[in-house]
Structure 1
Amino acid sequence: MATRRDQRSEESRRLLVTAAAELFAEKGYRQTSFIDIADKAGISRGSIPWHFGNKLGLLEAVLDDQLDTVLATFAPAAAGRPGDLLDQVADFIRRPRTRLFITLLAEAVEADSPIRAHYARLHAALRQAVRARIPAVALPPGATPEGFTALLVGAVIGLHAQWRVAPEAVDLDAVHTTIRALLPADG
């Protein structure tokens, strides 16, 4: 049974992860300080190293939390139709905290990035979740389910980046309709 102290500690940890996720999405990892995070969370900045060791430990906790959110969001539904997945993707892109993935992507692609492995796990989980949702899709000759899945995940990541950079130039509803029209019919 959890003690009151354990509950407070877990609540502090959750508040710090939430505050850090929002600030990392807004300002980026490198531009966000312990002071920023502590102020937003309403918790002493000394709590960050106590819970996470350092700022990187906090970032890793944020990414793990977001990975859990992604996996829950794209868990296979009973219907398992590609259109249902596209609706989920469109909703996910519009969430304010989803900006975190684009904000941190530039840092993750650096060869020595401490978050590179987290992004590799995230992308693998996305491909796995998408692949599990499209088993009955009839692909054209020569196309593989793995290739189609990678293409679809890559398109979504690129679409998300374009929309975050120039939302006035990218009509997500029109793109959603176009992707749905281009998807192969269920086989």
Structure 2
Amino acid sequence: MTTRREQTSNESRELILNAAAELFAEKGYRQTTFHDVSQRSGISRGSIPWHFGSKEGLLLAVLERSVARVRDGLAAVPESGDPGFGPFDLGVGAMFALPTTKLFVTLLVEALEPGSPIRDRYVEIHDTLRDHCRRWLERLPLPPGLSAEALAVALVGAGIGIHQQWLLAPDRVDAPEALAALRTLVAALLPPADRGAG
């Protein structure tokens, strides 16, 4: 049975994680301070290292929780039934509408730096997204010579690129419209009888 103290500690931890995820997505990891997280969460600054050890520990905890949420979200997408565009709209489109997407895109540059503590987490995130796309694509009648694996890489790359452009210039980039265009391009790859499925 959870004690009141443990419950309070867990609640504080969640408030810190929520605040840090929002701030990392808005400002990036380097520009976010413990003071920022404390103000946003309402939890004392000294409690943050007590829960996470360091700023890097906080970042890793935020990403681990976010990866778990992406997995849970994609696992909820139906795998059975019509292999048409229902899974695309629910899965490929939905994975770029998750609250974690902005966080992942914002922190991507830091993940690319040599020795980055979050590089392995990003490899894991991309593996998860590509695997989801690949499993959906393997159910479709793709043209000869086009592998589901390669197309999954292209779809995830396109989705990330769309969101990077949208974050940089939201007044110039319509992310939903661009994702709809991506859907149309994928539809053009399928035989005519399969294009309207879903």
TM-score (norm 2): 0.85
* The 10-residue stretch of structure 1 (41-50 or 164-173) with the greater mean CA deviation from structure 2: 164-173
* Pairing partner for 2:125 from 116, 122, 126: 122
Mapped to 2, the partners of 1:176 and 1:83 lie a distance apart of 14
Aligned to 2:150: 147
TM-aligned CA deviation for residue 16 of structure 1: 0.5
**Counterparts of 2:182 and 2:25 in 1: how far apart (Å)?**
27
Q: Hey, what does 1:106 align to over in structure 2?
A: 109
Displacement after TM superposition at 1:141 (Å): 1.8
- 5+ long unaligned stretches in structure 2: none
Q: Contact 1:23/1:37 (CA < 8 Å) preserved in 2?
A: yes
Unaligned runs of 5+ in 1: none
- The 1:16/1:45 distance shift into structure 2, 3 A limit, reads same
| 1:64 match | 64
Determine helix, strand or coil for the equivalent of 1:63. helix
Residue 178 (structure 2) aligns with: 175
Q: How does 1:33-112 map to 2 (within 5 A)?
A: 33-75=33-75, 76-77=77-78, 78-79=80-81, 81-94=84-97, 97-112=100-115
1:102–1:160 Cα contact (<8 Å) kept = yes
CA distance in 1, matches of 2:152, 2:185: 14
Looking at structure 2, the residues matched to 166 and 91 of structure 1 have their Cα atoms a distance apart, in angstroms, of 21
In the TM superposition, residue 91 of structure 1 has moved relative to its aligned partner by 4.8
- Checking the alignment, whether the CA contact within 8 Å between 1:82 and 1:134 is kept in structure 2 is no
Q: Per-residue displacement from partner, 1:98-132 (whole Å, max 9, x unpaired)? A: 31112111100112111111111111111112222
**For 1:45, what is the secondary structure of its paired residue?**
coil
Matched AA of 2:149: E
Q: Is the 8 A contact 2:17 2:58 kept in 1?
A: yes
Please tell me the residue identity of whatever aligns with 2:111: A
Q: Deviation at 1:2?
A: 1.0
**CA RMSD of superposed structures (Å):** 2.0
Contact 2:70 2:98 in 1 (8 A): no
